[in-house]
Amino acid sequence: MSNKETIKNREEILFIYDATFCNPNGDPLDENKPRIDIESRKNLVTDVRLKRTIRDYLFNFEGFNGGDKGDILIREIRTDKDTVKDMKTRAKDFGKNKEEITKNILEKCIDVRLFGATISLDNDSITFTGPVQFGMGMSLNKTEIVEIGHSFVMAGKSAEAKQGSLASEYVVPYSLIVFHGVINENAAKSTKLAEDDITYLDKGMWNGTKNLITRSKSGQVPRLLIRVEYKEGNFHIGELQHYLNLNTEDEDKIRSTRDYSIDVTDLVNILSENKDKIEKIHYLADNNLQLESNEQKGTFEDFFGKTGIALEKIKI
């Protein structure tokens, strides 16, 4: 059932996915190598990368491509002269003055309703503060950068003339990445973020990650999505990712979900302690992700059902 009412409650997000022998987020300032925190050896992924995943999925698969359903503001659009539109030129697609542009962008562009935007105009600017904000994604496990060499041959003008070359790419063998986010109900009033938009946010995270099947990104799978919806007010627990603990015999040897489990004991406890402030927990869990609590293995429902908080499975 469609719900276009502006959201009223604050929400907190935990999103976990893994990456196997791929590059989840290359650093253009370092040969496009995966981002690694030197001290902790944890893999890092920027919020910009996750937002791009969501935008690309909504554009390519959910109809937000400039048609009747809506649009994505932050995307590459080429002009007749084969140049990319800058934001000032892009804004003119939505109106002739600031008031018209503001109204149409909020009506049409789901990514602005979710993440906000800053738009330059000829003699002014428009700033939308995004209700949905993610911190830096970080892997629960330590990992490393692996260099993989490739050789390829290109034929010359004659059949005998060939030119060979070597190229390298950089990947992580395995990374279990956790993102934490907050949906701010106060900022939602300005961008008119609706319940329907949150449904597409869920789809963008989960299905968007599954559809990262480019040369460097293939090998990423969503494993767990939790949205904690609070009751009215400005309260949220914060930093839920720190209540997860990785259990494994040797994290340097992790290559699949069979090689570890996630201990959710602390997360269940902190949610239980605050159950009077929580409306419900929205969730989606991959069955291959092994969860445990108090040294017992089980499902998401087994552990979080004990909190006394209503659970609602996310429909993707």
Q: List the domain boundaries for the chain.
A: 11-144+169-313
Q: Which of 248, 229, 240 is nearest to 176 (CA)?
A: 248
Task: State the pLDDT at residue 63.
Answer: 97
pLDDT digits (tens, 9 = 90+) for 166-197: 678 999 999 999 999 999 999 999 999 999 99
Q: Which helix (H) or strand (E) holds 209?
A: helix 195-210
Q: To the nearest whole percent, how much of the chain has pLDDT over 70?
A: 94
Q: Tokens standing for 33? A: 């190598």
Quick one: pLDDT at residue 79? 79
pTM here? 0.93
What's the rounded Cα separation, in Å, for the pair 42 and 273? 30
- Whether the CB-CB separation of 49 and 105 falls below 8 Å is answered with no
Under the banding of pLDDT at 50, 70 and 90, the label for residue 263 is very high
Look up tokens 């040897």; give the residue.
253
pLDDT tens track for 209-257: 999 988 889 999 999 999 999 998 899 999 999 999 999 999 999 999 9
Q: What confidence score (pLDDT) does residue 1 get?
A: 52
